[in-house]
Structure 1
Amino acid sequence: MLVELVKVSKFPASPWLAQIQTPFGGTAVRWCGDQAAKPGKYHVEWTIDEDIAWGRNAKPAVGIGPGVRPGGHCVVLRGRLNLTVDGAAMLDFDGTQILLDLADPLPEGVADTWVELFIEREKIALYPYEL
């Protein structure tokens, strides 16, 4: 996914964070690239290092379409929830697939619906890469 890097910064007792913008919102998340990265456009891979538990950090979305925004101490990602034939869960985030680890099986009927994930910003990581 192509994102606009606004800045990379570090606060005491926290990892390096990137302030990013996308066409559908912006937020700050953990940055796993060059700490001296300059503002600009970067292709990134998203990872989530937190188990997804329906009703706790995953809920039906308010609205449709991809979205990203700050939500207090967490980041809110909105995307379409997909399940693979072998039971893995993926978040389709504007065409980018983010693998999800599930704490418990998902309830019936939530596959292929728009969901919002509420994840601590230090547990979402961006890995920049070059094409």
Structure 2
Amino acid sequence: MLVELEKVAKFPWSPWLAQIRTPFGRTMVRWCGDQTAEPGEYHVEWTVDEDIVWGRNVKPAADSGPGVGPGGHCIVLRGRLNPTKDGAAVLDLDGTLILLDLADSLPEDVAHTWVDLFIEREKISLYPYEL
């Protein structure tokens, strides 16, 4: 996914965080790239290091369409949820696919529906890469 990096910052109680902007929202998220990265556009991969539990950290979205935003101590991602054949799931965030580990199986009727994913800020990361 192409994001606009606005700044990278470090607070005493947190890992390195990046303030980013996407076409569908802004947030501050853990940055696993160069800590001296300059503002600008970066291709990034999202990783989620938390098991997904239906009804706890993933719920049906009130709105359709992709979204990225803050949610208190969480990052909120809105996308289409798709179970995989091997028992995991993929969140489609406007064409960017984010692999998710499931703690339990998803309800049968949830495939391809819009969901809000709530992930604690310390358990979601951005890894920049070059094309």
Equivalence for 1:5: 5
Code of the residue aligned with 1:73 in structure 2: it is: H
Code of the residue aligned with 1:65 in structure 2: it is: G
1:104 matched to 2:95: no
Residues 37-89 of structure 1 deviation map (CA, whole Å, 9 limit, x = unaligned): 00000000000011110111000011111101111111110000012223320
* Shift of residue 26, structure 1, vs aligned partner: 0.6
Equivalence for 2:50: 50
Equivalence for 1:74: 74
Code of the residue aligned with 2:31 in structure 1: it is: W
Equivalence for 1:119: 119
* Shift of residue 29, structure 1, vs aligned partner: 0.5
* Shift of residue 108, structure 1, vs aligned partner: 1.9
Scaled by the length of structure 2, the TM-score of the pair is: 0.97
Residues 14-34 of structure 1 deviation map (CA, whole Å, 9 limit, x = unaligned): 100000000000100100000
SS at match of 2:53: coil
Q: Percent identity?
A: 79
Scaled by the length of structure 1, the TM-score of the pair is: 0.97
Code of the residue aligned with 1:97 in structure 2: it is: L
Code of the residue aligned with 2:60 in structure 1: it is: P
* Shift of residue 121, structure 1, vs aligned partner: 1.3
SS at match of 1:109: helix
1:17 matched to 2:23: no
Task: Give the number of equivalent residue pairs.
Answer: 131
CA distance in 1, matches of 2:83, 2:57: 17
Give the aligned CA root-mean-square deviation in angstroms: 0.8
CA distance in 2, matches of 1:41, 1:108: 38
Residues 83-109 of structure 1 deviation map (CA, whole Å, 9 limit, x = unaligned): 222332000011011000111111120
SS at match of 2:108: coil
